[in-house]
Amino acid sequence: MNSHRRFVLRGLLLAATLGLTAHPVRAADPGITSNEITIGLFAPMSGPLTAFGLDALQAAKMWYEETNKNGGIHGRKIKVVIEDDKCNPNEAVAVVKKLITVDKVFFVHGGSCTAAAVAAQEFVTREKVPHVMLNASGDGAVIPATRYVFGAFAGTQRTVGATLAEFAVKELKAKKIAVIAHDDEYGVANTATLKAVATALGAQVVATEMISPRITDVTAPLLNVRAANADVIVSTAYPGPAVLIAQKYGEFGMMKTPLAQAIQGIPVPSAFAKNVGNDAALANFYYGSPLNDLTDGPKQQKWIAMYKQYYPDRTPSGFMAYGLPSAMAVTRALEKAGKDLTRETFIDALETVEFETGVIAAPVAFGKSRRDGSRGSLFVKFDGKTHTLMPGVYLWDGKAGM
Amino acid sequence: MSPLLLQGIAGGIVSGCVYALIALSLVIVYKSSDVINFAGGELVMIGGYLGMFALLWLGLPYLLIFPFGALVIFVVGALFDRVVLTKVAGRSVHGQSVLVAMIIATVGLSYMLKGIVRVIPYTEEVRRLPPISSGTPIFVGPVVLQHQDIAIVLAAIAIMAALWAFFSFTMAGKALRATSQNPRAAALVGIPVRTMSMTAWGLAAALAGVSGILLAPKLLITPDMGVIVILALAAAIIGGFVSLPGCVAGGILLGVVQNMIGVYVSSRAISLAPFLVIMVVLLLRPQGLFAGRAVAKKV
């Protein structure tokens, strides 16, 4: 081979080597520019379940605006695009698709209703777009953990069951517990952790009444619970059946046995009391709450005041504060991810987030195999008029009942 | 007898009375037009909301919300028959069953009523009517009876008695019975068949609405409360779907069996109870408990 050919061959070899080892030119993820991050926010903003989402979404937006006032994150301001999912799974999928494919957001932050939030999981996973839930539990999408979905900032149903059991045993000194839960996957999940924690603490579950979410007559389940002679009755029922249970519990004069109700059955305590229609039935009644205080307690005043500054014409509902922990986790993760921000580095950063929010009872924490943000609850005694905070925060260890 | 059993029976009778009233509504429609009214549940729901509206917004005394609700829903039912069903029945296409079209019309009515309720802001908050009657529970042996439950049973009995009297002793009631048995013969003797059909629908709707008001102190008033119609359908099937006394027996039987299954089998099986009872009845007596062998054939 003559020297000229050898020279050309060496040159080609060098060029090929440089081409293979050179840093690839990567297209930036959508939704990021040098000075802006675009976040797709969604929640029910209309329809019968607006109460669950409107104030929570506005609280998250408020947090982002506060962040922007303080200079943004690594020089980038947060811009939000808002959509309404009406708490409906089909609508949620539609708005998530629109936010990702049309509005080209960096990630989606939303979902106040579990069914709607979970419905979006397949699409965001396929598109590799992070989804941070707003205030939905999103059990089906966070346990087991998958890479792109983070949620349960108010706790999953497993947390609900575990903390109810711990409260019943440690605070109410129960040795025998009667459980009323729904026969859907959430009821099965919360009952499993409830039983596991109760057993671990030395208590016995003496009755388990699994009822349909559409039940209209709870006579039989309450008769069975009465016959079981438990020390504490624990209910994880949804609002309608929860009212029926409290009514029937009062009608049967069972108030000597404490009744502890999970938060999902008592979204607005005053409305719950009005619907039960018998304050005597609530003489020995408790409910769980993921917040760190009563909704209008001293620890919540800071957030209520901030909300009123941003939305002076609106009285925040009890769900307002639920929108803050997820937004706080987002801004922390964006800070940790640094200037060289991609969807994957954002997820990696979210996995390392662990902090006290000053809003909810338990710290928010994620991990490589953890996607449920909060695992704690406190409890409130409620007699129909007065709320009394019970001492202690109750936590699920993430293992019992799994 | 075990206190558990007695309490279960007492509770079942109360629920069963309400199922019976709604079942009566379904059967009246069926007997007059051979149509199963799939909007029956939504008429119950509308009754609940009308009762709440009358009590809280119009400030009517509790006893007056019943005739108020009944009147309004009577008009809804009668109008539906006159405006929709008459046209649907009149547009029969050769080879196609008119009944299918009429049933689909009732499904449409059910969606429409639910949709209307959902868009009204007043209905966003979930509520319950205050009890018809309240006071210290009454103890009959080991059985606890609430004033509310006694009031429901008494109201149901009064309504059933009034219906029986209406159909047995009034010209209008007899004309309705004649029309349901043989419309052509009824027309031949001068009974205004179209008016009778409209009256039957109005009456059935009013019955469903009043059931909703009776239910409203016990259940939360929501757009989905009409799901109870499934139990009423089961009660009607058990009774034979052509027998008014059958509905009553079917409703009470269903209420009691539901509670017995919940107490002695499992709470999880409560929702299976209506279907189990239907299957047993259809296997042992397919025409229903109260339907006789011979059925008057419409000419």
CB distance A379 to A395 below 8 Å: no
CA terminus-to-terminus distance, chain B: 52
Nearest-CA neighbor of A58 among A338, A276, A311, A331?
A311
% of chain A with per-residue pLDDT over 90 = 79
Domain spans, chain A: 36-155+298-371, 157-289+379-395
pLDDT at A400: 81
pLDDT at A346 over 70: yes
Mean pLDDT of chain A: 92
CB contact under 8 A, B267 and A227: no
- For the residues A19-24, what does the mean pLDDT come to? 48
Task: Kindly identify which residue of chain A lies nearest to residue B125, measuring between CA atoms.
Answer: A48
- ipTM, two decimals, is 0.80
Q: Which residues does chain B have within 8 Å of residue A252's beta carbon, measured at their own beta carbons?
A: 144
Measured between beta carbons, which residues in chain A are less than 8 angstroms from residue B260? 220
**What pLDDT was estimated at residue B243?**
81
pLDDT per position as a tens digit, B122-177: 776 778 888 887 778 888 888 888 888 898 899 889 998 998 899 889 998 898 88
Min Cα distance A32 → chain B (Å) is 39
Q: What is the mean pLDDT of residues A263-275?
A: 90
Dihedral angle computed from the Cα positions of residues A160, A165, A166 and A168, in that order, rounded to the nearest 10 degrees: 120
From the list B7, B126, B231, which residue is nearest A271 (CB)? B126
The two tokens of residue B92 are 């029969």
10 Å CB burial of residue A361 (0-12, 13-18, 19+) is: buried
Strands A36-43 and A107-110, by their bridges, are parallel
What mean pLDDT comes out for the span A328-342? 96
Q: B146, A271: Cβ pair inside 8 Å?
A: no
Q: Select the residue of A48, A220, A243 nearest B262 (Cβ to Cβ).
A: A220
Tokens of B258: 């539901």
pLDDT at B241: 80
pLDDT of residue B177: 87
Query: What pLDDT, on a 0 to 100 scale, did the predictor assign at position B291?
Result: 65
Cβ neighbours of A214 in B, within 8 Å? 224, 227, 271
Contact A215 B227 (CB under 8 A): no
Per the listing, tokens 């081409």 go with: A19
- Triad A143, A363, A312: Cα angle to 5°: 105
Give residue B136's pLDDT: 81
In this complex, how many residue pairs, one in chain A and one in chain B, have their CB atoms less than 8 Å apart? 96
User: The dihedral of CA B280, B283, B284, B285: what is its sign?
Assistant: positive
Residues with Cβ within 8 Å of A315's Cβ and at least 6 positions away in sequence, in order, are none
Chain A residues lying within 8 Å of B52, measured CB to CB = none
Q: Which of B267, B271, B275 is the best substitution to test chain A (most A C-beta atoms within 10 A)?
A: B267
How far, in Å, CA of A250 to CA of A258, rounded? Answer: 11
The span from the CA of A281 to the CA of A254, in Å, is: 8
What single letter denotes the amino acid at residue B171?
A: M
Q: Among A219-223, A354-358, B2-6, where is mean pLDDT lowest?
A: B2-6
A240 interaction partners in chain B (CB closer than 8 Å): 126, 219-220, 222
Signed CA dihedral, A35, A38, A39, A42: sign only: positive
Distance CA A116, CA A123 (A): 12
Give A247 to chain B, closest Cα distance, Å.
Answer: 9
* C-beta atoms of A217 and B268 within 8 A: no
- Cβ distance of A47 and B118 shorter than 8 Å: yes
Inform me whether the pLDDT recorded for A52 exceeds 80: yes
Contact at CB, A220 and B128, closer than 8 angstroms: no
Given a cut of 50, is residue A182 above it in pLDDT?
yes
Residues of A in contact with B118 (CB under 8 A): 47-48
Arithmetic mean of pLDDT, A336-340: 94
pLDDT reported for residue B137: 84
Query: What does the pLDDT read at residue A62?
Result: 97
Q: Higher confidence at residue B157 or residue A233?
A: A233
Q: Name which of A178, A280, A267 is nearest A229 in CA terms.
A: A178
Which residue in chain A has the smallest CA separation from B131? A277
Distance from A345 to chain B by nearest Cα, in Å?
Answer: 42
pTM for this entry? 0.84
Question: B163 and B176 in contact (C-beta within 8 Å)?
Answer: no
Residue ranges of domains in chain B: 21-223
Answer whether B268 sits within 8 Å of A271, measured CB to CB.
Answer: no
Distance from CA of A323 to the nearest CA of B (A): 21
From chain A, the residues in CB contact with B8 under 8 A are 219-220, 223
Exposure of A212 in the CB half-sphere (CA atoms within 13 A)? 16
- For chain A, the residues whose C-beta falls within 8 A of a C-beta of chain B are 47-48, 50-51, 183, 209-212, 214-217, 219-221, 223-224, 227, 239-240, 243-244, 247, 251-253, 271, 274-275, 277
Of residues B89, B83, B90, the one with CA closest to residue B102? B89
Percent of chain A with pLDDT over 70: 95
- Of A222-231, A282-291, A318-327, B114-123, which gets the smallest average pLDDT? B114-123
- Considering only CB atoms, A220 lies closest to which of B125, B131, B270, namely B270
Q: Specify the pLDDT at position A24.
A: 45
**Per-residue model confidence (pLDDT) at position A23:** 45
**pLDDT band at A345, cuts 50/70/90?**
very high
Q: Is the pLDDT of residue A26 over 50?
A: no
CB atoms within 10 A of CB B227: 14
Which CATH code of 2.40.340.10, 3.40.50.2300, 3.40.50.300, 3.20.20.10 fits the domain covering A36-155+298-371? 3.40.50.2300
The mean pLDDT of A253-274, rounded to a whole number, is 93
Is residue A130 within 8 A of residue A124, CB to CB? The reply is yes
Q: Quick one: pLDDT at residue A25?
A: 42
Mean pLDDT of A247-256: 94
Q: Which residues of B touch A239 (CB under 8 A)?
A: 126, 220
Question: Is the CB of A216 less than 8 angstroms away from the CB of B118?
Answer: no
CA dist A343 and A35 (Å) reads 16
- In CATH, the number for domain A157-289+379-395 is 3.40.50.2300
How close does chain A come to B17, measured CA to CA in Å?
13
Q: Which residues of B touch A275 (CB under 8 A)?
A: 126-128, 220
Same fold, A36-155+298-371 and A157-289+379-395: yes
**Nearest Cα to Cα of residue B225 among B126, B132, B122, B78:** B126
Q: Residues of chain B whose C-beta is under 8 A from some C-beta in A?
A: 4, 7-8, 11-12, 15, 118, 123-128, 130-131, 137, 144, 146, 217-220, 222-224, 227-228, 231, 255, 258-263, 266-268, 270-271
The answer to whether the CB atoms of A220 and B130 lie below 8 A apart is no
Q: Is residue A285 a contact partner of residue A246, using CB atoms and an 8 Å limit? A: yes
Q: How many CA atoms lie within 13 A of A278 on its CB side?
A: 26
Q: Which of A49-63, A382-396, B82-96, B183-197 is predicted with the least confidence, judged by mean pLDDT?
A: B82-96
- Nearest residue of chain A to residue B138 (CA atoms): A251
Residue ranges in chain B modelled with pLDDT below 70: 91-96, 124, 291-299
A275 and B128 within 8 Å at the Cβ level: the answer is: yes
